[in-house]
Amino acid sequence: MLEGLKEWAFELVNNYGQIGLFVIAFAESSFFPIPPDVLIIVLVLPPTNASPFVTGLVCTVGSVAGAIAGWVIGRWGGRPVLDKLFQPEKVQQVERLYNRYGISAVLIAAFTPIPYKVFTIASGVFKLNIFGFIVASVIGRGARFFSVAYLTKWFGEWGIQRLDKAMTVALALAVITAGAYWLWRQRQNRLVKREAAKG
């Protein structure tokens, strides 16, 4: 089934170019299993030679629009939607990340190979602030897709072979950033409680 979906995605991009990429990026953020990164590579490399900036921008806009759709699905469908679409252990893992890191969990998922659709729908279920959700999505998705587009343009096949390593490093940095943010929030909460106790 996945192979069939992948072939359909490639055919869509081959026939419709950036419009096809937008459709796949939108769908991937809310329900589609094929990530758009490989389609960015197809467009940027010869013979298409699409602009890496335009390709990264189209993919980011499509993905963020799809993420908002996922948030709406989760907000109105509630927990039953999560339980129906994803395995229980995956839902529990995402819930733990949200409880610990809040909005930073969205940023981590947006930039890394973690299935983003789980987080977009979960954000709606857990009633995450929509503005913060959109900002985290734009930063994370933009950083990821522009990186893929420009690495492909600058380094070609050599750069593509190193994308997996780059994503691993990115995941580590994202986790460190989220951890630092969580520690800062904990410190701020303690200071607020201390001030309240004095008052």
What's the whole-number mean pLDDT along residues 131-144?
A: 88
Percent with pLDDT over 70 in the chain: 73
pLDDT of residue 41: 85
Q: Pick 167 or 13 by higher pLDDT.
A: 13
Domain chopping of the chain, boundaries: 2-198
Q: What is the pLDDT of residues 52-61, one digit of tens each?
A: 999 999 999 9
What's the whole-number mean pLDDT along residues 151-163?
A: 69
User: Which contacts of 177-185 are long-range, i.e. CB under 8 A and separated by 24 or more positions?
Assistant: 177/104, 177/107, 178/101, 178/104, 178/105, 178/107, 178/108, 179/101, 181/101, 181/104, 182/100, 182/101, 182/102, 182/104, 185/102
Q: What is the pLDDT of residues 45-104, one digit of tens each?
A: 888 888 999 999 999 999 999 999 999 999 988 888 888 878 887 788 788 878 777 777
Q: Which of 130, 139, 78 is nearest to 110 (CA)?
A: 139
Is the pLDDT at 5 greater than 80? The verdict is: no
pLDDT band at 22; cut points 50, 70, 90: very high
pLDDT of residue 49: 84
pLDDT of residue 71: 94
